[in-house]
Amino acid sequence: MDENKNLDESVTETDQEIADFEPIDSQMNETDLQNSEEEDFEELPKHDYVSYIANPYELESEDEEEIKEEKVKKPRKKRLLNNCIIISICIFVCTGIALFFMYAFFDNSCIGTWKCEISGGKGAYYYTFKDNGVLEVTVGSVVQYGSYVVSSDKSTITCTMGQDSTTGEANTETPSISITGNVFTGKKMKLTFAATQSTQATSLDLTKSDEVIAKPSVDKKFKQDTKLVGAWTYSDTGISTRLMLNSDGTCKLDENGQISYYGAYTLEKGSIKINIIAYDQTSGSIKEMAFGTLTYKLDTTKGRDNLVINGIGFKKEK
């Protein structure tokens, strides 16, 4: 009985304590509650991650620095091929410069075209020395062909040109040769011919130039004959002639491979009239003159292409 009584008393006291209990918040006024919340907030621990919030610009800058460091650390590869190309170009340029200076200042070769003025400004002769030993002498529209040989010491030059009309032998002269100047001041050549029993010593002064072949004027009233246009040839023992008649009124006559006449032609009553530019002994000048009048007869019967000029039969080249 006593135990049950004590138990009831204990339960009663506990219920009374519960009934007397009030929440803490209800015992505090609003001011105390606000202060308490602020204190609780201040006492919250500061987490480490807050101090590590990164600036995106700082991250970018750091990444760029890291990339730069990696590039610096990487060893550069040697570009052997590029170096070889650069060296080759340098060698090529240096060689070209050296050759230019050698040609400009130290080349005493006669190869090329040289101009010889006729006194009084009445024209000029052009001497062309080719690298294969061929010599061409151009006067107006007439070109004569020959050959030349320079002595081993380059002091003389032997020129052979055409044949002597009396003896039939080749005309040969061996003048002394002297070349001075350079490409900047102008190159000059002097040919000195020794005196003979019939002639006095003479010399020719020449300057480096370009070959000029004069062109005779074509008659404005020129009318072509299509049957005549083309190349006509004749050959016999020791004789070879080729006549080229162009549709524009110009022509070229080659004789034995020794001389060429560049001219202009007209057709008139069964004749071919040719004009050329050559040296006129009477006036001592180079001017246009009549080369001659060639009579012709064209035979095209039965598919033949024959042209009789001054009684000589020419065949048309195909």
Cβ–Cβ under 8 Å, residues 236 and 228: no
pLDDT tens-digit readout, 40-92: 444 445 444 444 454 554 545 555 555 555 555 555 555 655 777 777 788 87
Write down the residue that tokens 């064209």 correspond to: 298
pTM for this entry: 0.65
**Cα distance between residue 243 and residue 226, in whole Å:** 15
Which tops the pLDDT comparison, 41 or 97? 97
pLDDT tens-digit readout, 177-206: 999 888 777 889 999 998 887 788 899 999
